[in-house]
Amino acid sequence: PTPFVHDVAGDPSQAAFWAVGASILPGSEVVIENVYAGPARSGFAAVLARMGADLFHDPVTSDLTVRAPSGGVLSATTVRADEVPGLVDEVPVLAVAAACADGETVFEGVGELRVKESDRLATVESELGRMGVDVRAEGDRLMVRGRAGSQLRGTSVDAHNDHRIAMACAVAALVADGPTTIDGWGAVATSYPMFPDHRATLLAGGIGV
């Protein structure tokens, strides 16, 4: 066979962390290069857009540009059970977006999260709760009452050896009123070993997150 080069688009699950970061910091803008946007994997972007974030996916370059809402604050929404298959891995970080929104966001039919690397419904409830968020996990539903316009609490949280919980907490720390320590931070290497470097680069560049 003849060798060829095939460009593989980037992981939407990784992009979601930066998309939420840009959405919750007023005045922020982030361009995430070459993000796959197939209908089965773009659910997180649809939810953020519904909450008021400004998103544009370039059909030529596949770059995803995300800006904070023009009014500065996200709005609560309901994530229906039929939407969950396309965003199940992004629920922890979408819960961070919900924590910064105006009103109560409800995630329906997310019971699958109880059997991931951790019980992600329980860990989102406990760790965002430590940061001052009104969050409840009941059965297969997750309810988050936002603190629009208020900072989260800087504190010590536990990743429960779950990479997505660790990274979601790191995004939440962007809007905390003080330092946040994440126990079990090494879990991020499971799926996104460059996450700490990318976070530091974005913060240093002054482009939002």
Rg (CA), the chain: 16
**Residue-averaged pLDDT of the chain:** 92
- Which of 89, 109, 82, 81 has its CA nearest to residue 20? 89
pTM here is 0.93
- What is the C-alpha to C-alpha distance for residues 47 and 143, in angstroms, rounded to an integer? 15
Confidence of residue 207 (pLDDT cuts 50, 70, 90): very low
All domains of the chain in start order, with CATH: 12-187 (3.65.10.10)
Backbone angle region of 4, left / alpha / beta, with phi > 0 → left and psi within -120 to 50 → alpha: beta
So which residues are the catalytic ones?
89
pLDDT tens by residue, 91-149: 999 999 999 999 999 999 999 999 999 999 999 999 999 999 999 999 999 999 998 88
Encode pLDDT of 159-178 as tens digits. Answer: 999 999 999 999 999 999 99
